[in-house]
Amino acid sequence: MDKYKRYERLAAIVKIFSENPNTLINLEYFMNFFGIAKSTASEDIDILKSVIEKFNFGKLITLPGAGGGVKYIPIANIKSYLPFVQEIKEKLKDPSRIIPGGFLYTADLIYSPNIVTKIGEILVFPFLDKNVDAIVTVETKGIPIALMCAKALNVPLVIIRKDSRVTEGSFVSINYISGSQRHIRSMSLARRSLQKGSRVLLIDDFMKAGGTIRGMMELMEEFDAEVVGAGVMISTEKPENKLVDNYISVFVLKNMEEEKNIIDIEISDWILKG
């Protein structure tokens, strides 16, 4: 008789997949973990597949062959995130978020673990099958979102520094023009923090003209990295001509009027249309 009952194994497998999204786990792992036969492990996975789909928790993908196994994709379709995105949109419209100087206060949202977990899952969704090797962000406010993107894709996070306080050996720096303030700034990344030729997804919290993402792209060239895309939580509608074109955002900030206490923000089309 098997050491564990089926419902016990299923519960345990759900836990293992939840903690290891986008990670290929072979059947042998489960056979050893539970002390079960291959056929039993296969049956467990088949049952779990339908459970996960039934509850809209994402999907399990089986890759056949010697190097194969099962992989849990935590997000089945982008539309299932609509209620969440709508809730965050309402929060973003709160006029008390307007900070003198034309800034939008978002720290309570982008530093909230449960919220950034979901924002991360949404931002990586279009890149699930793009073989991303690493998530790249620039300090500071984009780091929590970027880490959750990295967790959702099961790849390492790389953090670019905005100064040269790099205590990680030799590093590469570039100058870039901060679009919103038209200042020349620099960003630096240690040589050893990103392998040459990596496929990277650039992540940040906010994008106006796109100067920061543009700077990240230039820095990536120094690492022979291939930029698969860029994602931000909020992009502004204006200026229409950004310094980058290949990007997605969760929200589009259309207008913000300090005097009238108005924040006009919309959910991006690609999410609304699913």
- The site for its own copies (CB under 8 A) is made up of 4, 6-8, 10-12, 14-15, 18-20, 47-48, 51-52, 54-55, 57, 99-101, 103, 105, 107-108, 111-114, 116-117, 139-141, 143-144, 147-148, 150-151, 154-159, 161, 167-169, 190, 192-193
CA distance 64 to 70: 9
Nearer to its own copies, 222 or 268 (CB): 222
Closest approach of its own copies to the CB of residue 269, in Å: 27
Q: Which helix (H) or strand (E) holds 134?
A: strand 134-138
Q: What angle do CA 204, 179, 138 make, to 5 degrees?
A: 30
Which residue is associated with the tokens 């206060």?
105
Which residue is associated with the tokens 């003209």?
209
Nearer to its own copies, 205 or 230 (CB): 205
CA distance 173 to 216: 10
CA distance 17 to 209: 39
Reference 105, options 115, 90, 116, 93; nearest CA is: 93
Nearer to its own copies, 7 or 90 (CB): 7
Nearer to its own copies, 20 or 173 (CB): 20
Phi and psi for 16 in degrees, rounded to 5? -65, -45
Closest approach of its own copies to the CB of residue 50, in Å: 8
Nearer to its own copies, 195 or 246 (CB): 195
Q: How far is CA 151 from the centre of its chain?
A: 8
Which 3-state string (H, E, C) describes 96-109?
Answer: HHEECCCEECCHHH
Q: Report strand pairing: 69-73 vs 157-160.
A: unpaired
* Helix ranges, the chain (H): 6-19, 27-34, 38-54, 82-92, 107-110, 113-124, 143-153, 211-221, 269-272
Nearer to its own copies, 64 or 113 (CB): 113
Closest approach of its own copies to the CB of residue 27, in Å: 18
Burial label for 58, CB within 10 Å (0-12, 13-18, 19+), is: buried
Closest approach of its own copies to the CB of residue 169, in Å: 5
Nearer to its own copies, 48 or 253 (CB): 48
Closest approach of its own copies to the CB of residue 245, in Å: 26
Closest approach of its own copies to the CB of residue 273, in Å: 26
Closest approach of its own copies to the CB of residue 22, in Å: 10
Closest approach of its own copies to the CB of residue 226, in Å: 20
Nearer to its own copies, 4 or 247 (CB): 4
Residue pair 173/209 in contact (Cβ under 8 Å)? The answer is no
Length of the chain equals: 274
